[in-house]
Amino acid sequence: MVKYSDLTKNTAKYSAEIEEAVRRVVNSGWYLRGKETERFEKDFAAYIGTTHCVGCGNGLDALTLILRAYVEMGVMKEGDEVIVPANTYIASILAVTENKLVPVLVEPDIETLQINDRLIEQAITERTKAIMIVHLYGRCAYTDKIGELCRKYNLKLIEDNAQGHGCSYNGIHTGALGDAAGHSFYPTKNLGALGDAGAVTTNDGELADMIRSLSNYGSAKKYVFDHIGRNSRIDEIQATVLDVKLKYLDEDNQMRRNKALRYIQKIDNKSIKVPSENYWKNSVFHIFPILCEKRDELKTYLSYHGVQTEVHYPIAPHKQKCYEAWASLSLPVTEQIHRQELSLPMSPALDDNDQDYVIELLNNF
């Protein structure tokens, strides 16, 4: 069987180093907000290229805390609007609505699968305070035009970099392209922990301090509470695991990109649309997405032949029950992606022979 992503195999490469690092934490007697967190925050900020990194519980919290901090700082208030790509994973949108801000959905471009920058300006209103770009599938969503719009309308640029670790734009890593970025280290992400973890990166010291306080019950000083905060921390154990894996991130991403290129060069079936060369240049392939009108049939066929695939994602946010008010919206490009997208097996440990088998099946479909 060809697995979608074999986490045991992916982790094997660093398991000895991880076990040693975890043993050190176990024996240290210090499990939260200590040296390991501090080191990872420093190393991750240096990698991304920002002055600050604040660890937190998960990716959703990272995004929620960024917006919450802007509300606390008076930059945004209830009812203000945040532009988001309509085809994003639900967590980007949950972070907005949790803060009583209003998500404004903008259609993606069918070539890049990222927010269509030609459609953003018409979605900007008096209440718009931010654009949240999502480097979906590991492909960079930033464009110069998005940067210009943020400057022109004085909007915050927030990056959801849950899927884009290691991706870059003109030599700048995603996570350092905007005012603040939320990162997820969910186990399957390009930089994944052995459990839940997340982080915010930013060059804004005031924002970083606010997020640090909000994630620690709203307290910057022990037992003094200036804000109504929450508890969202990164474990020392997860921080040390991530610090081990961070050293291999570029190498792992290169392996993903090599495999993506093999798919692109070898898949030859008119009914399957693979990412373009331009797409390839700008992606670290958290996900390798293809589009196929007979997506469900193709998925069943591959599964019958022992190949696991995924769909990212089967139901668009505006079609979800939790956001019923959007039910009548028509977003044809988003809906097409949700109808046609199929994610092929993709991970640094994907075996060449297994991949060739998948490609052969695709070409015979």
Ligand X SMILES: *Cc1c(COP(=O)(O)O)cnc(C)c1O
Residues that bind ligand X (CB under 6 A): 58-60, 88-89, 91-92, 134, 160, 162-163, 184, 186, 196, 198
CB of 95 to ligand X, least distance (A): 8
Nearer to ligand X, 136 or 272 (CB): 136
| Position of minimal CB gap to ligand X | 59
Q: Pairing mode, if any, of strands 81-85 and 102-106? A: parallel
- Per the CB < 8 A criterion, the answer to whether 93 and 84 are in contact is yes
CB of 90 to ligand X, least distance (A): 8
Query: In 3-state terms, what secondary structure has residue 200?
Result: strand
- Per the CB < 8 A criterion, the answer to whether 146 and 157 are in contact is yes
Nearer to ligand X, 59 or 348 (CB): 59
Nearer to ligand X, 160 or 341 (CB): 160
CB of 215 to ligand X, least distance (A): 14
Per-residue burial over 75-101, b if 16 or more Cβ lie within 10 Å, else e, is: ebeeebbbbbbbbbbebbbbbbeebeb
CB of 73 to ligand X, least distance (A): 22
**What is the amino acid identity at position 233?**
R
**What is the amino acid identity at position 123?**
A
**What is the amino acid identity at position 205?**
G
Nearer to ligand X, 133 or 272 (CB): 133
CB of 164 to ligand X, least distance (A): 9
Nearer to ligand X, 184 or 343 (CB): 184
Nearer to ligand X, 57 or 361 (CB): 57
Q: How far apart are CA 36 and CA 243, in angstroms?
A: 8
- Per the CB < 8 A criterion, the answer to whether 250 and 166 are in contact is yes
**What is the amino acid identity at position 41?**
E
- Per the CB < 8 A criterion, the answer to whether 105 and 122 are in contact is no
CB of 57 to ligand X, least distance (A): 8
- Torsion, Cα 315 318 323 326, to 10 degrees, reads -150
